[in-house]
Amino acid sequence: MGESLDMGDLNLDLITIRNFAIALLIGALVGIEREKRRDTEQMIGGLRTFILLAMLGAIGGWLAASYQSYVPLLVVLGVACITVIAGFLMDVGKREEEQQFSLTTELAAIAVTLLGGFATLGQPELAVGLGIVAAAVLAYKQPLHGLIDKLGWGDIFAGLRLLIASFIVLPLLPDRALDPWQALNPRQLWLFVVLISALSMVGYVATRWLGPGRGAAVTGITGGLVSSTATTLAFSRQSRELDTPAAAKSLVSGTLLSWAVMFLRILVVSFAVVPPLLPRLAPSMIAMALATIAIAAALHWRDRTKAKKKSEPAAELVITTPFSLTQAVKFGLLYAAILLVVKIVSDVWAGGAGLLLVSAVAGSTDVDAITLSMSQYARDGGAASIAAAAIVIAAISNTVVKGGMAMTMGSAEYRRRLLAAMAVVAVIGAIAAALEATLI
């Protein structure tokens, strides 16, 4: 009789084969991108070279895992580095004097070799993720360079300040409540300041990357990540300057999209603080977001075939860098004040009616601060239903206040369309919240 097949060995062999295949696919992914650029850039190799380098790294990683020593992988990496350096020196001799030198392809080759080793060393998921990142960085050369060209030194300093606030200031803050009411934890306060600032920074970078004049829809979406209030103010002013029906429809569409982003942003912030709150908030927030998106889409596409492209307004949204230490401290103080008020009211005013009133007032100025405060309230043991209702009220209050801004600053056509949309969104949010409350 033949020997029985050891299923454990078969499983190990299949895993090894899979890891080698992952390494080769990583090499092919990066190699295809490099191959496509060979006509416009001088480089040491293309598809075949990168596949072979990935295979070389995979063999080194497999030998390292088999012999429990990193020496084989280091030897393979050394061979790859020597080969890459030799190819670079040969390439330098062929280049004309005016050509710029770049080490991008050479570094990519070394990275692919290492990623091949990671794949067979038992880290295939990490190798795949980093391989995709490497290919994306190489493929998006022009957009990334375009983004850098659009960033000023003030933007770079703002990013560095955000990193300092996140990785230097945050760990130094005490992680305990320091006030008599046990409501203010400095590290948690600053953590949420960083969270809101990071969300705003994403929208700011997107706006700078895409350009503020890409149209009201795109500007509304990216502007909503920075500040839906600022977007509403900017579009209200522009509607008065342009003062045409086509401009009003486009600008109202962009404004509503910024509101939709705000509703979705509330879900993200609350989920980051207390995930169980999400099911209670989702019906109202998603209902209001879908309502704003539906109205914006209707305004954007209605009679579009009859409208000439030149009549579309080039929406310009002037935004400043969303992070500065002064702004961060101001938001932190506002958040701390609201958090303290919420704590005191919850202790002395039973039933939650006081918290709903606080949310309505606080939401009129800043919906992020009250969202964080009520999420913190729920995480500390407060009623999740009250926290969710308070956040919904704050969102509706903030929407109504922005509608009031449009009423005082926008053109007649812009006011008419936006106020009607605001009423629909507020009613839908209230109905969704009431229905969700009855089901609890």
3-state SS of 11-67 is HHHHHHHHHHHHHHHHHHHHHHHHHHCCCCCCCCCCHHHHHHHHHHHHHHHHHHHHH
Task: Please check whether residue 1 lies inside any domain of the structure.
Answer: no
Domain identity same for 122 and 179: no
Q: How far is 154 from 230, CA to CA, in rounded Å?
A: 20
Domain's final residue, options 82, 111, 139: 139
The verdict on residue 277 lying in a domain is yes
Which pLDDT belongs to residue 125?
92
Residue 302 lies in a domain: yes
Task: Answer yes or no: is 2 within a domain.
Answer: no
State the burial class of residue 405 (Cβ atoms within 10 Å of its Cβ: 0-12, 13-18, 19+).
Answer: middle
Looking at the structure, do residues 342 and 426 belong to the same domain, yes or no?
yes
Query: Who contacts 399 (Cβ-Cβ below 8 Å, separation ≥6)?
Result: 259, 288, 422, 425, 426, 429
- Residues 210, 133, single domain; the answer is no
Q: Are residues 311 and 384 in the same domain?
A: yes
Is 280 part of any domain?
yes
pLDDT value of residue 256: 92
Q: Residues 405, 415: contact at Cβ < 8 Å? A: no
Instruction: State whether 312 and 395 are in the same domain.
Output: yes
What are the tens digits of pLDDT across the range 297-316?
887 776 454 444 444 444 45
| 350 shares a domain with 290 | yes
Q: Is the dihedral of CA 114, 116, 118, 121 positive or negative?
A: negative
Residues 254 and 128 in one domain: no
In a domain, 198, yes or no: yes
**End of a domain among 122, 139, 156?**
139
Query: Within its chain, how far is the Cα of 290 from the centroid?
Result: 20
Domain match, 152 and 112 both: no
Pair 71, 62: CB distance under 8 Å:
no
Q: Which amino acid is at 265?
A: R
191 occurs within a structural domain: yes
What Rg do the C-alpha atoms of the chain give, in angstroms? Answer: 28
Q: Which residue, of 89, 114, 139, is where some domain finishes?
A: 139
Same domain, 276 and 236: yes
> What was the pLDDT predicted at 61?
93
Are 209 and 90 within one domain? no
- Answer whether residue 405 is part of any domain: yes
The number of distinct structural domains making up the chain is: 2
344 in the same domain as 288? yes
pTM score: 0.62
pLDDT of residue 303: 47
Collect the ranges in the chain with pLDDT lower than 70: 1-12, 39-44, 91-102, 147, 183, 196, 199-200, 202-204, 206-216, 302-325, 346-352, 436-440
User: DSSP string spanning 134-159?
Assistant: HHHHHHTHHHHHHHHHH--HHHHHHH
The predicted pLDDT at position 95 comes to: 59
* Residue 378 belongs to domain spanning: 147-439
Q: Assess contact for 247 and 314: CB atoms under 8 A.
A: no
Residue 193 shares a structural domain with residue 85: no
